[in-house]
Structure 1
């Protein structure tokens, strides 16, 4: 009996502490592609497809689309059953809907329609008539689907051709040449630079289609190999490298009514960039922001959409470093001779009001902050925009009135906001998070000031051991510029201990790693490493995004140098902390971050013991034209900059353990980068490690992404912990 009693006491003393302990994460919990990732995403259960229609708002829940009035009275608008019945009445052989599909709501002639894709079709459904009014069948290979504003036709690409699909089933080839190197309507024109995400542009009333014709015949083939075939299959891609011949583009205009076509007479030089296509409201003119090959000059040029003739150049902006237009001009409804331009001409991206003769009427916003996006209401009375006015860490939503020129911030709580406004402008739905708030969707009556919370996410990490995360500032290497950092302490942190530290770095343009979002924008892998006893640190140094042109362009023509010095300021800060083990410091990053990881390992070999560089740029002369020449010039006009930033020249400096990782189908940072570094290390008798992900492009995605982060973790555990 005593033995049983003692056994029970021992069992209780063992189980109670275990039950009191917080649960631990796995990589499947924290990494996109992991089995349980959705469970730990604070946005995974929010109201889906939230939007306004007039002053009512819509959302999807449980396979039902609800329509809610401003008093929050909810009624069912469309169900999965409604769509299924409409499908069966239209397409007898259509597969059954497994769930309510993603929908797009559109208005044509004051009627409201819902568009959705299913079973290789696109359908336009009328909720009032409860039937499908248009049905489009797509063929295998159809991509870049762009629907006409009237909803009665689609433009699609297939192979190198551009096609028009009409509601009656008619399929017309708009443009195609029997040359595989000439593409029409491609979304990858200029390799997705200059804010471009598509290659076709319908006119406002849908009477004409503007599209890119891209000729890559002058660009050499770059070989990739598909090893999934028994005999490796050669895949040639077009990859114009810096300083070499780039592809050429022209812009065509097709009119479905009479099947006529003209090409804009853009003339020479042919290797400039024709970016950010905009239609005039009357569909008679097309506006282009034309950037020269050197990317230091941008002109706003107007063409006739009917004859293709060049009509006028409104103005030209120049920069000592680079210009980078990323937003088409916005015409003001009801004032067809007025438009808004977003430009960084004065150092920060702001809004400028112009007329169509090129006269600057007014600069609408000003200050040391960036306008990120803008849209004009249907009445042409107000412009709504997002900006970093309050802080570089935050994004807020603003309203500017054209009549008085004043603007006010519509979102109040600190954080990163994504808002939408109703057609009348009275109601606003705000979707935001901040460092202490996982996710909130809130409805505002801007007239009365009242608000209702539509959805608030629970803390998805509750019950799990979670690290302490802090955000602060340090000075850049110039001793004056503030840089924001994020510091993550190990779970169960003991200030008396010394911990290994991993610096996660990106460092380049078009990226900002630290925002005032949930847990300071922390990544899942950061949490996992903190759980495993590491400090994880990041700093957004000069060269990163949303701090103005001077901040972003500081490393211009000498990539790595300025960014490296700012990262070392982060190292100095870490070394000032008594719990950081200065002998166990590592670094990890991907793409530009892979470049920075390798840069730090070879330029500061006494500081960093371990590094993991994913998809790293090694030698900028192997990188593509648009991005590479913007930030580095060409090897011909900047030989010193290219020589200093070529990490192959520093292969002999490597002392610590460096793992390079690459996808063998990478079309962004081709494997020539990492392989050339291995070659130089062999010659220099240094010894990096190497791992390849077969079949993956620039980023390892899907289930293999969990494997990737397990591989990275093991490497740090083997050599840093």
Structure 2
């Protein structure tokens, strides 16, 4: 018999007014940011470890400023620079310091290219002379100051450039960059999306060399989509996108010598992907991570740039795949800290400079979720983990030998730290399902709280007027696993009544929806639905994260198969509860979750009466190489894995009500996925509803788009569940 172990039956500490007087959350309020949380924007610790900076926006004028604060007092010390005092700049959206903090790189007029990549107009502000220097009249990518503050490197039109800040002159480092063919210094679409980085060049410690990647996209198939815009004729957006099984860009590593102005090539042997490059403390030593196409054999290389020789520091192999991460720190002697799942859980390891394992620093049936850094003076490694339960996050320290572990911030919920440069302090951002973000200052060595910095009591006060119901966290036993879940019931819940069940999930590899953290936009929508008589449930099935690599990787070669089985089984089990109407069960999801919702309404047609799929994958044959092949290998190697769970191969299974949504400008999950699903349903003579949002990308936002989308989804839900 199903048992729901409730760990959060309380909600806000303030008194709610009686239900009849409470307001209902509206779609318009959610997507006009009426419930936005306050935070510390673009927080940076200064080198002295005693002060930090944040980016502030004047609520009246819109002017932006970089303001310096003291950790001890939390008082503002000074304004380093304000857009109000800069000619020609109304505001800047981000900033970076030079290593000595005398220069500040300011980002303005930033526009998106894809998910992470942007173009912008950038300036260098000299704090000593108060002189503002524009780097380029053109919009550029990824400008980065040299460690000595004398140069700034950037990418323009797929080529690497170098500006001398003393002379004001600029030289073009590479000349072969061509759109949809050759890229220097920034990544191609698939690296950006799946290896999560854009800037593909790095300065060495003494500013004498720049290591950079070159992408040859010549053989990568070209993808195009119509952009309808407002003109008489649509235009085509054309870019290189390698779908599963197709050719990837040929990636090579190169070294630019700033003094000689010469470029040399680094031979990485049979490297297929090059997902990370990082200089070591020695200015002549570069670390390079490479991984094979199957992504189950990773190598960490050492490049000696004096002779351009390459040797191996570390190798990792896995029967499924090895995840790429940024948890690599080189210590003073170039020994290094690294994280790995090789014992079945993600943990911290210490290696010497020759790549020999010195010791495993952390261990246990829990995951290190973030690595913050190493304080060599105190021999303390700081990290975030799930030691307090997989739905929670705590902050800890431990010595490099694995001893002396200390809890620094472990209150049930989500704790996330930002450490001062010298690891004297950290600012903790805490939230839970009942508490919006609270920022507090702590001593790093002890975890002792020094001061409160900022909270969101104003938001809590605003929400006190609304009908808000708590998330009830628990587990549900499905297919031999205790799966994390939460349920949200109406405020006036009556166990003698029958309620429709509406399930939400994402379910992608390593993901997590069941988390003891503050509400996101979807949570507010769910609150609206709960106030109108629906019960919301979310279950993280097999393949999701933070419960060990075996749990995560069980879906290898069969994406969506086991995940779908778990959602169907969970829906059936929840329907056995006395207060659930087993004839009114729905499910929804976005992207991977949209694929899941579609599969559930088909393969679970005796369980689900309704489904909403937003921007779904409908065949992994249409998705990109790096993501898809990591979990599925290629279509030639695993055709059944691709086709047996592709919903347009069994449209005849549709019985319930189905809503399909996509943006026509989705560069990630192409609208092709929806068009193929639509055609399959038409030919199967199955009725359904669908909507296309013109020129909208995978996020489907802009203007009133989200308001329209969620009103459409709400109306469909009310009509069919």
TM-score, structure 1 length as denominator? Answer: 0.88
CA drift at 1:696 = 0.9
CA drift at 1:118 = 4.5
The equivalent position to 2:246 in structure 1, one of 244, 247, 266, is 244
| 2:98–2:146 contact (8 Å) kept in structure 1 | no
1:128-527 matches, within 5 Å, as 129=128, 131-132=129-130, 135-167=133-165, 168-177=167-176, 179-180=178-179, 181-188=181-188, 190-228=191-229, 229-268=231-270, 272-310=272-310, 312-327=311-326, 329-332=328-331, 334-336=332-334, 338-377=335-374, 379=376, 381-402=379-400, 405-445=403-443, 449=448, 451-458=450-457, 459=460, 460-477=462-479, 479=480, 481-518=481-518, 523-527=523-527
| 2:362–2:402 contact (8 Å) kept in structure 1 | no
Once the two structures are superposed, what CA deviation does each residue of 1:215-262 show, in whole Å capped at 9, x if it has no partner? 111111122111224222222221111122222111122122221211
Equivalent pairs counted in the alignment come to: 676
CA drift at 1:56 = 3.1
> 1:12 aligns to what?
none
Whole-angstrom distance in 1 between the partners of 2:313 and 2:75: 50
The equivalent position to 2:107 in structure 1, one of 114, 117, 130, is 117
- Going from structure 1 to structure 2, the CA distance change for 1:174 and 1:384 (only over 3 Å counts) comes to same
- Going from structure 1 to structure 2, the CA distance change for 1:615 and 1:423 (only over 3 Å counts) comes to closer
| 1:66–1:74 contact (8 Å) kept in structure 2 | no
Bigger mean CA offset, 172-181 vs 545-554: 172-181
Bigger mean CA offset, 606-615 vs 443-452: 443-452
- Going from structure 1 to structure 2, the CA distance change for 1:169 and 1:281 (only over 3 Å counts) comes to same
Whole-angstrom distance in 2 between the partners of 1:178 and 1:51: 34
SS in 2 for 1:537: strand
SS in 1 for 2:350: strand
Bigger mean CA offset, 116-125 vs 627-636: 116-125
| 1:276–1:328 contact (8 Å) kept in structure 2 | no
- Going from structure 1 to structure 2, the CA distance change for 1:637 and 1:584 (only over 3 Å counts) comes to same
CA drift at 1:318 = 1.3
- Going from structure 1 to structure 2, the CA distance change for 1:382 and 1:208 (only over 3 Å counts) comes to farther
SS in 2 for 1:437: coil
SS in 2 for 1:175: coil
- The answer for unaligned runs of 5 or more in structure 1 is 1-16, 88-93
Whole-angstrom distance in 1 between the partners of 2:592 and 2:643: 17
Once the two structures are superposed, what CA deviation does each residue of 1:54-108 show, in whole Å capped at 9, x if it has no partner? 2234456656655444541624311666x644x3xxxxxx32545x864445541
Whole-angstrom distance in 2 between the partners of 1:139 and 1:252: 27
Once the two structures are superposed, what CA deviation does each residue of 1:100-124 show, in whole Å capped at 9, x if it has no partner? 864445541xx65544334733233
The equivalent position to 1:52 in structure 2, one of 36, 40, 45, is 45
Whole-angstrom distance in 2 between the partners of 1:504 and 1:434: 19
Whole-angstrom distance in 1 between the partners of 2:583 and 2:78: 63
SS in 2 for 1:463: coil
CA drift at 1:541 = 0.9
Whole-angstrom distance in 2 between the partners of 1:73 and 1:367: 37
- The answer for unaligned runs of 5 or more in structure 2 is 1-16, 59-63, 110-120
Whole-angstrom distance in 2 between the partners of 1:526 and 1:318: 42
Superposed CA RMSD in Å reads 2.6
> 1:706 aligns to what?
707
SS in 2 for 1:330: strand
CA drift at 1:592 = 0.4
- Going from structure 1 to structure 2, the CA distance change for 1:169 and 1:572 (only over 3 Å counts) comes to same
Whole-angstrom distance in 2 between the partners of 1:409 and 1:536: 34
> 1:40 aligns to what?
35
Whole-angstrom distance in 1 between the partners of 2:493 and 2:147: 57
Whole-angstrom distance in 2 between the partners of 1:390 and 1:520: 22
Whole-angstrom distance in 2 between the partners of 1:584 and 1:262: 65
Whole-angstrom distance in 1 between the partners of 2:66 and 2:197: 32
Whole-angstrom distance in 2 between the partners of 1:565 and 1:489: 24
> 2:602 aligns to what?
602
- Going from structure 1 to structure 2, the CA distance change for 1:691 and 1:24 (only over 3 Å counts) comes to same
- Going from structure 1 to structure 2, the CA distance change for 1:59 and 1:184 (only over 3 Å counts) comes to closer
| 2:602–2:654 contact (8 Å) kept in structure 1 | yes
SS in 2 for 1:665: coil
Whole-angstrom distance in 2 between the partners of 1:501 and 1:20: 23
- Going from structure 1 to structure 2, the CA distance change for 1:178 and 1:357 (only over 3 Å counts) comes to closer
> 2:112 aligns to what?
none
SS in 2 for 1:628: helix
Whole-angstrom distance in 1 between the partners of 2:560 and 2:598: 10
SS in 1 for 2:191: helix
Bigger mean CA offset, 488-497 vs 679-688: 488-497
Once the two structures are superposed, what CA deviation does each residue of 1:692-717 show, in whole Å capped at 9, x if it has no partner? 11111111123311211111111112
1:532 aligns with 2:532: yes
CA drift at 1:666 = 1.3
